[in-house]
Amino acid sequence: MRIRVDAWVRIIIMSRLKKLAPAFFQQPTLDVARSLLGKYLVVKRGDVILSGKIVETEAYVGEDDLACHASKGRTPRTETLYQKAGTVYVYLVYGMYHCLNIVTEKKGFPSAVLIRAVEPKDGIERMKKNRKTAAPHNLASGPGKVCEAFGITRKMNGESVRGVHIWIEDRGEIVHANDIVAVPRIGIAYAGVCARYPWRFYITDNDFTSRK
DNA sequence: CAAGAGATCATCT
DNA sequence: GATGATCTCTTGA
């Protein structure tokens, strides 16, 4: 008689081992933004698992960062940014699209990393349906696209990024510093001097970034 | 290919 | 009442 382990049980056990802990996010935001490159965003809804390699991020650091939502202080919306590292911050931009962030640093210091682009891996067919397109390079090559492909909405705002719905895995892939580019952030021209900060990071030569 | 406009609404003034 | 941490489509060279 043999012991049989169902494939999905194995998946759950392995994913728990690989899940990034809150301590990973409780570091300087720029470091987290860089080290998230090459990690895997995973979303589980029912039996469906969607995943993809993070290839582009942006850092938003504190109330002094004029591009950070918290630059206008503590409000009902920015409250999430003041929570502990590893909290999911999702908001609606331009009345239509969602943006996924992970809160960083110590509780009370409002900062986060925006997940700007992902290279789809698991559940690509579902992503195509969610996005209403079949073009692989157009599935998650932008923050709004990531959320649409993965079905991420404000309902996840405030959740833990090490929960049952959403988490980030280390699958052992290493991204060297030489393969990371730092450039100014997108869509924040209103942020004065901060608009010039090179706080957008992406993997050089990856074909799934938002390229702008 | 580049540039421009429209869609659409939660949030803050 | 104004404004976006965006995306898609249309227009025109």
For residue A40, give the CATH number of its domain. Answer: 3.10.300.10
User: Could you tell me the residue range of the domain that residue A140 belongs to?
Assistant: 28-203
Q: How far is the CA of A204 from the C1' of C6 (A)?
A: 23
Q: What is the pLDDT of residues A63-91, one digit of tens each?
A: 999 999 999 999 999 999 999 999 999 99
Q: Give every CB contact of residue A7 below 8 A, 6+ residues apart in sequence.
A: none
Q: How far is the CA of A96 from the C1' of B2 (A)?
A: 25
**What is the per-residue pLDDT for A172?**
97
| Within a domain: A18 | no
Q: What is the pLDDT of residues A40-53, one digit of tens each?
A: 999 999 999 999 99
| Within a domain: A211 | no
Q: Which residues are bridge partners to A168 per DSSP?
A: A41
- How many structural domains comprise chain A? 1
3-class SS letters over chain A: CCCCCCHHHHHHHHHHHHECCHHHHCCCHHHHHHHCCCCEEEEEECCEEEEEEEEEEEEEECCCCCCCHHHHCCCCCHHHHHCCCCEEEEEEECCCEEEEEEECCCCCCCEEEEEEEEEEEECHHHHHHHHCCCCHHHCCCCHHHHHHHHCCCHHHCCCECECCCEEEECCCCCCCHHHEEEECCCCCHHHHHHHHCCCEEEECCCCCCCCC
Asked if strand C comes closer than 7 Å to A187 Cβ, the answer is yes
* In chain A, residues 77 through 106 whose Cβ sits under 7 angstroms from any atom of nucleic acid strand C: 81, 89, 92-97, 99, 101
Nucleotide nearest to A99 (CA to C1'): C5
Band of the pLDDT at A212, cuts 50, 70, 90?
A: confident
The residue that minimises its CA distance to C1' of B13 is A72
Instruction: Specify the pTM.
Output: 0.93
Nucleotide nearest to A91 (CA to C1'): B10
For residue A161, is pLDDT > 90?
Answer: yes
Closest CA to A42 of A208, A161, A143: A161
Token representation of residue A6: 């169902």
